[in-house]
Amino acid sequence: MTLFEKIIAREIPADIVYEDDQVAAFHDANPQAPTHVLVVPKKPIPRIGDATSDDKELLGHLLLKAAEVASKIGLSKDGYRLVLNHGPHAGESVPHLHCHILGGRAMQWPPG
């Protein structure tokens, strides 16, 4: 089981801000911005490049829920960044697809 599967199964504690039958959203344990929440599909897909056309509804749900969670936690007014990492060079540390919601400060471009 990945770290995220253990969080979803409540084997590891996390500050969960949203959950439904397809995704869970919780604060990142190692935040990279004042507000840093992860939205994780309950289906274990290692990374975006491993998703298939069978996952298109889940991927749409993931992004729509990320926007909903961002609004719920107060990031819509000033803005936020959504990030999906694929592989170690992109910063992926848990091989389970997840969307980062980053906000609470101005973001730089290009990202590091």
- Nearest alpha carbon to residue 25 among 62, 60, 55, 50: 62
The H or E element spanning position 81 is strand 80-83
- Nearest alpha carbon to residue 42 among 64, 26, 19: 19
Tokens standing for 80? 């936020």
Q: Determine whether 98 is an active site residue.
A: yes
d(CA 28, CA 13): 12
At 95 the three-state DSSP class reads coil
Q: Which of 27, 86, 89, 98 is catalytic?
A: 98
Catalytic sites, residue numbers: 98
